[in-house]
Amino acid sequence: MRARSVSLARRLLCGAGRAALVAYDLEPLVEARALCHGMSATGDLVVACLADDAVPTTTWADGALRVRLDIVKEAPESAVRITACAVHLLGTLEWLSEEDVHDYLADADLDPRLTELATMVGGRLGIVRSDRVLLHDSAGVTPLPFGEVAGLHPAGGARWGCRSFPDAEQEWNARDLVGGLSKNQLTGLLTAAAAGWEAGVKLSSRAEVTCSHTEGRVFCVDIDRTGLTLMAVTLGRASVHFLAFEEPADALDELADRLGQLVAVGSVQPTE
């Protein structure tokens, strides 16, 4: 579960989800939402946006600002909207000067979308610094040291650069692998998890107002290098289980292999 939490938080900091930023010392208190975000090769949390006079945070030019950053990620489902997880952090934001941006980008190895936005007319590039990240998901609230999420050595420096798996572009390919499993196979995984299979962990179960197009269905809440998270909706109740892989996956072919192993092992688990 710790590996899952770190993986989730890292993917969000590396660019997944929608980010919103607010500087709570500025008036008016307006969130900056039209942001790109990601991690640099050296473990910096970076945001880019266009300066907007209506959003004071984006036009600030007088040193570090105290900020709150929220990143919310939805499940990779097209039929319904499920909030899969979110990270929240308090820290400081410092916008780079136009002269410093070009020097920084030379070694940052950022997502091209971040670079493009930061170098447009009116574009800004900032670094958010924090000591702790709060992950919110079906398992509850998990506090994590920023250095652990960013993959930093205690002595400094990034261990993995800005890589995470699956990244924002790979997520739907990963979801397609889950789509290749039948409803019976997905239900079988949940049944085995509910019966005590050690690979399965119940994250939550709560009453929900359901409708005809969700009742009796199984949804993919998330899939990453550590495992598969599924939600079953039945009889007005939504239950979320995490199915852990035996070994982590760091490529799509490995992910397909781990899913196959889950289904094969889950199908022979006792159901009572």
Confidence of residue 208 (pLDDT cuts 50, 70, 90): confident
Confidence of residue 163 (pLDDT cuts 50, 70, 90): low
Extract the tokens encoding 182. Answer: 């039948």
Confidence of residue 215 (pLDDT cuts 50, 70, 90): confident
Q: What are phi and psi of 114, to 5 degrees?
A: -65, -45
Confidence of residue 160 (pLDDT cuts 50, 70, 90): very low
Looking at residue 272, its pLDDT comes to 57
CB 164 within 8 A of CB 14: yes
Lowest mean pLDDT among 115-119, 145-149, 211-215: 211-215
Confidence of residue 12 (pLDDT cuts 50, 70, 90): very high
Confidence of residue 157 (pLDDT cuts 50, 70, 90): very low
163 versus 28: the higher-pLDDT residue is 28
Percent of the chain whose pLDDT exceeds 70: 94
Alpha helices in 97-240 (DSSP H): 98-108, 112-118, 146-150, 171-179, 183-194
Looking at residue 52, its pLDDT comes to 94
C-alpha 85/C-alpha 105 separation (Å) is 29
CB 172 within 8 A of CB 166: no
Mean pLDDT along residues 207-215: 79
Percent of the chain whose pLDDT exceeds 90: 75
Radius of gyration of the chain, Cα coordinates, nearest whole angstrom: 20
| pLDDT over 80 (residue 98) | yes
Mean pLDDT along residues 185-198: 92
Q: Is the pTM of this model over 0.85?
A: yes
